[in-house]
Amino acid sequence: MAALGAGPAQPSVGRLPGTSATVVATMAGRPVQFTSYLGHHEGAPGAKAWAWDPVKRVFVTTGGFFVSVSPDERWQATFSASDPRVVPQVRLLDRKTGVTTTVKLPVPVVPGRPQHDLSVGGLTWSPDSRHLLLDVGKSGDATRSEGIALIEVPSLKPRFVRIENALITVGGFQWTRDGKGVVVRWGKNGRSSIRRYDLDGSVRRTWHVRGRPAGDGQGAFTPSGRRFVTACMPLEKYACVWDTATGKAVTRIKLAFRPMGGNVLGWYDEHHLLATTRQGVGIVTLRGTVVETLVKVGPNEGFFPLFDARGSN
């Protein structure tokens, strides 16, 4: 097993399996790492999730619809789309030991309906790699939250936190930089705010800003936590950067739009965004200038990459 946290080999420049997307920049040594993706090649049936295997040094299929690697690169989480016939569960691979454990999620009971009859989706790791978060949506209304499911590692103990009626149409819940809370959009489409919750479900703050919190790369908040970014306009064509302390706008940046989905937005480092570009995915300044392309993606490619921040950043 490759040493984790010590710079395991990253994807080489070249085409990605199951897609026509191509890695065009060396990823080793960067503040974010390209760890997994959902690929849907034009004309091919269905989509597959792929994750980077640091031992085999290739991307391998995971057998699930969602996959995410923890920021410290130790844990790989795989989740399939909710099936009302089974209790939702997550497969967690400890890449240090090679052991895979299936964790059943303690989602709440809906009166008169099976315990698992809720929408569950998304995989979001805390910056310190200590918790995995999944959104839990209301039965019959997947745009509104019932709460979140948290899995603690390495104990793999799950718990449910009730946070009702948050707006989770896109993006869902995201982590604060310190990993002690989550943020989510609240209100109605076009007239929403961002709320912060502690991990017991208590509201701690509301920012009256536009958009939904971004979650790619380093996440919604910069490494220092001083700023956060939202996808703030219809079709996610703009990124808005806000001052965390005051809630005031810092800048608004026009982004490239991908009609096939897979728009990417989050922090690359303290002063740059990881974002969708005309060529695919790249590093963008706070003036909207693309300084480097990391992955090239065709205009008709269904491609959903995950760049997970490393624990040392």
Q: Looking at residue 4, what is its pLDDT? A: 42
Pairing of strands 216-217, 265-267: parallel
Q: Report the pLDDT averaged over residues 282-290.
A: 96
Q: Closest Cα to residue 133, out of 77, 187, 85?
A: 77
Q: Looking at residue 313, what is its pLDDT? A: 40
Q: Looking at residue 265, what is its pLDDT? A: 94
CA angle 143, 147, 149 (to 5 degrees): 115
Contact 209, 242 (CB under 8 A): yes
Q: How far apart are CA 153 and CA 126, in angstroms?
A: 11
Q: pLDDT tens digits, residue range 31-76?
A: 999 999 988 655 455 678 899 888 888 899 887 778 999 999 999 9
Q: Looking at residue 45, what is its pLDDT? A: 54
Q: pLDDT tens digits, residue range 177-213?
A: 999 999 999 988 778 899 999 999 999 999 999 999 9
Q: Looking at residue 217, what is its pLDDT? A: 94
Q: How far apart are CA 72 and CA 42, in angstroms?
A: 33
Q: How far apart are CA 120 and CA 138, in angstroms?
A: 9
Could you tell me the domains of the chain? 14-309 (2.120.10.30)
Q: Report the pLDDT averaged over residues 286-307.
A: 91
Q: Looking at residue 115, what is its pLDDT? A: 53
pLDDT greater at residue 6 or residue 85:
85
Q: Closest Cα to residue 154, out of 94, 103, 107, 71?
A: 94
CA angle 47, 12, 132 (to 5 degrees): 55
Cβ-Cβ contacts under 8 Å for 286 (sequence gap 6 or more): 241, 250, 251, 253, 271, 272, 273
Q: Binning pLDDT at 50, 70 and 90, where does residue 2 land?
A: very low
pLDDT greater at residue 48 or residue 90:
90
Q: Looking at residue 235, what is its pLDDT? A: 74
Tell me which residue has tokens 């705010």.
193
Backbone torsions φ then ψ of 176, nearest 5 degrees: -75, 165
Q: Looking at residue 40, what is its pLDDT? A: 66
Average pLDDT, the chain: 87
Q: pLDDT tens digits, residue range 225-245?
A: 999 999 998 778 899 999 999
Q: Looking at residue 62, what is its pLDDT? A: 86
Q: Looking at residue 184, what is its pLDDT? A: 97
Q: Report the pLDDT averaged over residues 2-29.
A: 75
Q: Closest Cα to residue 175, out of 129, 142, 237, 208?
A: 129
What string of H, E and C letters represents the secondary structure of the chain?
Answer: CCCCCCCCCCCCCEECCCCCCEECCCCCCCCEEEEEEEEECCCCCCCEEEEEECCCCEEEECCCCEEEECCCCCEEEEECCCCCCCCCEEEEEECCCCEEEEEECCCCCCCCCCCCCCEEEEEEECCCCCEEEEEEEECCEEEEEEEEEEEECCCCEEEEEECCCCECCCCCCEECCCCCEEEEEEEECCEEEEEEEECCCCEEEEECCCCEECCEECCCECCCCCEEEEECCHHHCEEEEEECCCCCEEEEEECCCCCCCCCCEEECCCCEEEEECCCEEEEEECCCCEEEEEEECCCCCEEEEEEEECCCC
Q: Looking at residue 84, what is its pLDDT? A: 58
Q: Report the pLDDT averaged over residues 109-130.
A: 76
**Residue 130 structure tokens:** 């200590």
Residue 247 has pLDDT above 50, yes or no: yes
Q: Binning pLDDT at 50, 70 and 90, where does residue 85 land?
A: low
Q: Specify the pTM.
A: 0.90
Q: Binning pLDDT at 50, 70 and 90, where does residue 259 land?
A: confident
pLDDT greater at residue 288 or residue 18:
288
Q: Report the pLDDT averaged over residues 107-125.
A: 71
Give the percent of the chain with pLDDT over 70: 88
Q: Looking at residue 311, what is its pLDDT? A: 47
Q: Looking at residue 197, what is its pLDDT? A: 98
Rg (CA), the chain: 18
Q: pLDDT tens digits, residue range 150-168?
A: 999 999 999 999 999 999 9
